[in-house]
Amino acid sequence: MLCLFVFYGLNIFAQKDSTATDTLKHKHSPTLASLMSMVVPGSGQVYNKKYWKVPVLYVGMGTLIYFTLDNRKVYLKYREAYIFKTDKDESTIDPYPDFSASDVETEMNKWRRYRDMNIIFLSVVYVLNIIDASVDANFFDYDISNDLSLKLNPTINNSINGSQLGVKLCLKF
């Protein structure tokens, strides 16, 4: 009896169930790719095996961060100059004696606008990074067969009213 139980148990484990392998098959998750790209930009692209996109993303983001910080530095310089021009204190040294207060204010606003635009562009690149990771993950398992074809064939249609020339489209998939 024990021998029959052992052989029966071995027989169960020796056979493969096709439905079990289908449920255990790893599904590529767009949600996981999006979450990974939210936490660490570019990690969703690595998850999707689109490695070439990571350097492009980081160069773009790095460039925008550099210009944001540079524009902020120039903005702060003009803001300080504007404060010095409008403080009514005679002991303050004017860094731009040739500029009026309105000229300095105009320059200050221009550089603040440049800084703000770079921050907006950086946010757009960040969001596009997440969208790209999600879309790539959705199409990761998409099967593109080599036997897709579209053929244009001339055709002659004979009818009661006579012959008609036409074009026949044949899509094969």
Indicate the average pLDDT of the chain.
Answer: 83
Distances from the Cα of 9 to the Cα of 1, 16, 18, 19, 20, angstroms:
12, 13, 19, 20, 18
Beta-bridged to residue 67, according to DSSP, are: none
Tell me, what's the pLDDT at 147?
Answer: 65
The residue that leads in pLDDT, 18 or 152, is: 152
Give the residue among 24, 21, 22, 48 at the shortest CA–CA distance from 34. 48
Q: Show me where the domains of the chain are located.
A: 28-143
Supply the angle between the helices 30-39 and 101-138 in degrees, to the nearest 10.
150
**Confidence category of residue 132, pLDDT binned at 50, 70, 90:** very high
Q: Is the pLDDT of residue 110 over 70?
A: yes
Residue 48: which H helix or E strand, with range? none
Amino acid at 151: K
Model-level pTM? Answer: 0.67
Token pair listed for 61: 């983001």
Q: How many CB atoms lie within 10 A of CB 158?
A: 8
